[in-house]
Amino acid sequence: MAHGDLDGDVDMQIQGTVVGDVRGRNVTVRQGAQIHGAVTGGRVRVSGLVNGPIHAATLDVAAPGRVVGEVDCRTEVIVAGQPDGDIHAPTVSVAEGGSVVGSTHAERMVVRGNLEGRIEAFAVQLGKAAHVKGAVLHNSLNIELGGFIDGPRPWRPPGYFGRG
C-alpha cells in the first residue's frame, strides 16, 4: 500500500492500493488494484477500483472495473465496467454488460448496456440490449428494436448543445 501522491510524466501501472492522487502520462489500474484519490492522465484504463474523480484524454472502464466519482475526459469514455458518478466527454459508449449510474453529458452517446441517470447528448443511439432509466435530452435519437427508455426523451435544438 502506498500513502501519498504519485506524480510523473511516465506510464503508470497500479497493482496494489494507493491512498492519494495519481498523475501520469497513461495510468492503468489493474484488476484487484485500488486508488483512493483523483486520477489524471492521458489514457486511463481501469480494471480495478478508482474511488475519486478522473480527468483524462481517454478513459476505458473495463469489466470488472469500477469508478466512484466524476469523470471528465477530453475525447472519449468507453464503459464495460461500472462508473458511479457524472460523466462529461465528447463521446461516451456503454457496452453490453456495462452499467453507468449518474448523469452523462456528451456530443455523442451510444448505449448498449445499462444507464441510470440523465443523458444530455446531441446524438443518442441505443442498442437492442440498452436499458436507460432517466431523461434523455437529445437532438437525434435512434433506438434499435429491444432498446428501452424509462423516462422522458425531449428533443432539444442544436443551440441547446452549444451548436449554432
**What pLDDT sits at residue 162?**
80
pTM confidence score: 0.95
**Cross-strand partners of 134:** none
Q: How confident is the model at residue 164 (pLDDT cuts 50, 70, 90)?
A: low
CA distance 155 to 164: 16
Residue 20 CA to residue 40 CA, distance in Å, equals 12
pLDDT tens, 39-52? 999 999 999 999 99
Q: What is the mean pLDDT of residues 127-145?
A: 98
